[in-house]
A and B are shown apart, each in its own frame.
Chain A
Amino acid sequence: MPADRDEPTLDKTTLDKAPLDKAPSHRAATDGKAGLAGLAGLSTDPGVAKPDPILVATGMTRTFGGLKAVDVAHLEIQRGVITALIGPNGAGKTTFFNLLTGFDRPDAGERWFNGRSLKRVSASRVARLGMVRTFQLTKVLSKLTVLENMRLGATGQLGEKMWAGWLPFLWRDQEKEVTGRARELLTRFKLDTKEDDFAGALSGGQRKLLEMARALMVGPELVMLDEPMAGVNPALKQSLLGHVKSLREEGMTVLFVEHDMDMVRDISDWVVVMAQGQIIAEGPPDAVMADQRVIDAYLGAHHDVDITELDPEVVALEVEAEIGAEHGSTGASTTEELER
């Protein structure tokens, strides 16, 4: 609990204060256009240019058989802010993540990270450049302990070289430093009591937390989270929201996929909406959620209602009825679907 309280408080004044003190040095060049301030007064057309983009993607397409899963004409992600990527199931968000991070190859298109082209750059190199992602279906290393999972995240470890590995005196000090950093993060994510457990013994929500903490061990500039809150209980969700915001305060850029509109509204500075592979709208959360194109694409059946005004209980009942219609769905999957 106390670890949570130590985080910087996130009132309006700190949010508006840009550039941030811990900002990367090259930001100084784009005076006044960095972070949140740079987003003010931008148009809300899809693909709008940002004053200080950390990531730019152009003409990215990816087809599976006859299905065009991703077809993004242009997208820029502003540095130092939290951007949400939303869209209905199957919109292509995860596929787009895979393309951006090099886990999948686009049919066409190019992308730049910090102005550097990522064409033919391997996924691991992309991560080392400072662009680290998590997975929608959590990937923890089951037979390693939680602490070992964390240590793996640190980059530039001498002991990870084969020639140095068998000589512990070469890497022992670095390992201590890495362990210290890992413990700090584990405390922050309330996993410190689990450090000696096998990661495979964690619950689904705890795995999400571990994966996010482990990604931070890499020391990324841009953190890409694919549904970080899915399956995390409401209380923990609140503190996790705090963590995501604190990443921004520490000078990182966050791009995350999420279905929970309350969360999107709460923490994102900018929202990008995808539907059927294309970016259909982007802008500040309130503006985007009131956008007719978004409501049409996102809600389908609930055509005439503002997303945020939907009565969650009604939606839950409808979902339950739908699930009840399909026999054989288990209790576990029911709750998971409800949480989405």
Chain B
Amino acid sequence: MDLITTPLHDAFAPVAISYVLAAMGLNIHYGYTGLLNFGQAAFAAAGSYAMAVTIVSFGVPFIPAILLGLAASVVLSLVMGVPTLRLRADYLAIVTIAVAEILRLLFSTSFKKYFHARDGVSGFTGTFRSWNPFKDMEGTFLSFSANDLWVMVVGWIIVALVSTLVFLLMRSPWGRVLKSIREDEDAVRSLGKNVYGYKMQALVLGGMIGAMGGFVGALGLASVQPDTFNTDFTFIAFTMLILGGAARVLSPAVGAVLFWGVLSFMSVALSELSDIVPGDLLDSNRIGNIRFAVVGLVLMLLMIYRPQGLFGDRKEIAIDAR
């Protein structure tokens, strides 16, 4: 039974939602505009820390704190984008990965009064939980607690709204400009479009969506910790995006759900196997590593036999080969 329920639980839990949103932001950056952002973790971190600290240390109400979190991600986009977006694509990649690491170190070592180092910030969920319509529920529903359910309902609604927005935007002339920039920015410039401005808009929008991922993750865990936002965060989000197929509206959602589902299935299956397999061949450390190795293998096979991802368009990939 666990083999089905646990993976299902993990695939739709708040953590998964936070990765869905992070990957949706990356989809705008990388999938549609071709911006290499290797620091999506920084946007999620800036958003969630700004929200948590303003509530806990400064007594800001919940909704304004969310807005401040979004504002923090916008500021971060400008910090990363202003110096790099006029330059070649690789500069943005370097700056984003550096800024993400700097932020993480800042949160874990400095201003301990506000950030509480590696313990992280907690105690900001009061208002959000007070709105929970399920709060009188007893026990669990499908193994989710009342708090989890509330975060999930809100989280998946945000995913749906963001997906709709991305869908509409990418079908518009605005989306056409972004896709064109991904193909050849000089051509777009020669047609009179302000490429720098469009790249900045894409960076800001994707960053704000990443910050929303930070909010959902923080509310789900009821704390914000620096170690959540290491480089793995960004690369797992990238993996999910590519699994689903870049530049498709729903691929981050499906990619993330599948990724967590498979990962969780692997750990349940392996730990059941460890009862049968003799000795300590499959101790818990190894299980943790093996499941990532298997996911890596699946991903390699996917890239070889279906390079466009699950939803991608084979014809588009064929063009790359020319």
Query: Which residues of A does B touch, CB under 8 Å?
Result: 101, 103, 122-125, 127-128, 132-135, 139-144, 148, 151-153, 155, 157, 159-162, 164-168, 171, 175, 198, 200-201, 214-215, 217-218
Known: A141-B183, A143-B319, A168-B168. A155 touches B174 (CB 8 A): no
Bound CA span A124–B183, Å: 17
**Are A152 and B176 in contact, with the CB atoms below 8 A?**
yes
Bound CA span A336–B154, Å: 60
| Chain B 169-198: CB-based contact to A (< 8 A → 1; otherwise 0) | 101111111011011101111111111000
Q: From A156, which residue of chain B is reached at the shortest CB distance?
A: B192
**Are A165 and B169 in contact, with the CB atoms below 8 A?**
yes
Q: From A197, which residue of chain B is reached at the shortest CB distance?
A: B315
**Are A132 and B172 in contact, with the CB atoms below 8 A?**
no
**Are B180 and A142 in contact, with the CB atoms below 8 A?**
no
Contacts of B175 in A (CB 8 A): 165
Q: For residue B109, give the distance in angstroms from its CB to the closest CB of chain A.
A: 37
Bound CA span A274–B191, Å: 27
**Are B192 and A151 in contact, with the CB atoms below 8 A?**
no
**Are A218 and B174 in contact, with the CB atoms below 8 A?**
no
Tell me if B201 counts as interface (CB < 8 A to partner A): yes
**Are A144 and B179 in contact, with the CB atoms below 8 A?**
yes
Bound CA span A300–B191, Å: 38
**Are A200 and B179 in contact, with the CB atoms below 8 A?**
no
Given contacts A141-B179, A142-B183, A217-B191, 4 further A-B contacts (CB under 8 A): A133-B190, A135-B186, A143-B182, A165-B172
**Are B179 and A124 in contact, with the CB atoms below 8 A?**
no
> B188, B192, B205 — which one has the most chain A CB atoms within 10 A of its CB?
B192
Tell me if B113 counts as interface (CB < 8 A to partner A): no
**Are B319 and A201 in contact, with the CB atoms below 8 A?**
yes
Contacts of A175 in B (CB 8 A): 173
Pick 28 A–B contacts, CB within 8 A, sort by A.
Answer: A122-B194, A125-B192, A127-B189, A135-B187, A140-B184, A141-B180, A141-B188, A142-B322, A143-B179, A143-B316, A144-B183, A151-B173, A151-B176, A152-B177, A152-B193, A160-B193, A162-B174, A162-B201, A162-B205, A165-B168, A165-B172, A165-B175, A167-B168, A171-B172, A171-B173, A198-B319, A218-B191, A218-B192
Bound CA span A153–B322, Å: 24
Tell me if B165 counts as interface (CB < 8 A to partner A): yes
